[in-house]
Amino acid sequence: MTTAFDPVDLAGRTLANRIAMAPMTRSRAYGPGHSPTDATVEYYAQRASAGLIVTEGIQPSVVGQGYPDTPGLHSDEQTAGWRRVTDAVHARGGTIFAQLMHTGRIGHPDLLPGELRPVGPSAVRADGQIFTKQGMQDFTTPDELSADEVRTTVEDFAAAARNAIDAGFDGVELHGANGYLIHQFLAPNTNLRTDEWGGTDENRTRFAVETVRAVADAIGASRVGLRISPSNPYNDIQEPAPDAVYRTLVRALEPLGIAYLHVLEATPEVRPFTLGLRKEFTGTLVLNPVSEGPTGHDALGLVEDGTADLLAFGALFLANPDLPSRLRTSGPYNTPDPATFFGGDERGYTDYPALATASVTAAV
């Protein structure tokens, strides 16, 4: 029986186990030009026992930033900063993919330099607010991308992917979930276009497919993953009938030979759909399963029964840098502190103790 602690081949690279660190925004890119810091290096190196680390969302362009102090991969300065991270992870035997995240309409002009404004497939404002340096502010109506600007945005992803490889990453994951730009093209309430980028199921998947294809052409398909979250209402997304568009998407991805498909389940009702995608997509499936709390030990059976090839753990990995070892023994686990999830210093970032350290501290 295959377990989550067995090695797995990921598009030609052997991972030590089937436990992935899910991408998690931390808003601590305090280095020059939104680049990683010494603390970022330590944070990821501490978690190198994961079979696969997927970084926090990294913007592929200046206009792709939607939150304060999130990192980029569109400058030489940022690329050099990430090289320090990948070197540290590799020195501890880890594998690390950069998640490229363009937030699209999810953002605010106050987070962008000069006259830049958030952009999207259509000029549809998200309901809700965003945190800025000036506090919480309402989302604004994004500028609709022209056809030429859509093509430029695709190339921005490809250029950032090339920077990721220059920075030493083993590959990249494109963030097509959680209501960000790629997801906005997929969803019918955010994509009202009638040109080649919207309208039909095939046209609404075109941006995702063309971006994956461009990135695969730039760095090789075996270095590319895509994350999706069908029916996820986060960031004011409405997908009442996602089956057709996501099946169209997966069928278009299948011949490209990408490294993996990463599915984030937002609700329990999505599981049958996940199983359907599992049959459609013959490559590696990474699953971030639905859970009432942080994904934990109970989810390991999803590898054993073949539902997924790898399992992605979020908050529990944030709080437990040695999570694979803790999962093997069913804990104990450090408790994640939501007050330190975004921004701040080393507290709730690099100061969660590993199991051996925690045991010594308890004994004292």
CA 269: distance to chain centroid? Answer: 22
Interatomic CA distance for residues 116 and 59, integer angstroms:
15
Dump strand ranges (E) for the chain: 8-10, 13-15, 19-21, 52-58, 96-100, 119-120, 129-132, 135-138, 143-144, 171-176, 224-228, 260-264, 284-288, 310-313
Assess contact for 106 and 139: CB atoms under 8 A: yes
Assess contact for 86 and 42: CB atoms under 8 A: no
Digit-coded pLDDT (tens) for 66-123: 999 999 999 999 999 999 999 999 999 999 999 999 999 999 999 999 999 999 999 9
pLDDT at 363: 36
Six-digit token string for 315? 């908050």
Interatomic CA distance for residues 141 and 264, integer angstroms:
27
Can you list the residues of the chain whose pLDDT is less than 50?
359-364
Secondary structure of residue 31 in the 3-state scheme: strand
Interatomic CA distance for residues 182 and 175, integer angstroms:
7
| 8-10 and 13-15 beta bridge pairing | antiparallel
Assess contact for 346 and 30: CB atoms under 8 A: no
Secondary structure of residue 302 in the 3-state scheme: helix
DSSP type of residue 190: T
Buried b / exposed e along 292-317 (16+ C-beta atoms within 10 A): eebbbeebbebbeeebbbbbbbbbbb
pLDDT at 291: 75
pLDDT at 297: 87
CA 200: distance to chain centroid? Answer: 26
Interatomic CA distance for residues 356 and 335, integer angstroms:
16
Digit-coded pLDDT (tens) for 294-334: 788 899 999 999 999 999 999 999 999 999 999 999 999 99
Q: Dihedral through CA 95, CA 356, CA 287, CA 224, nearest 10?
A: -10
Residue 30 known to be catalytic: no
Interatomic CA distance for residues 69 and 66, integer angstroms:
9
pLDDT at 151: 98
| 310-313 and 284-288 beta bridge pairing | parallel
Tell me which amino acid residue 297 is: H
Six-digit token string for 18? 């089937």
Query: Is 3.40.640.10 the CATH number for 8-340?
Result: no
> Of 43, 44, 67, 180, which one is the catalytic site residue?
180
Domain boundaries, the chain: 8-340
Residue 111 burial (CB count, 10 A)? 22
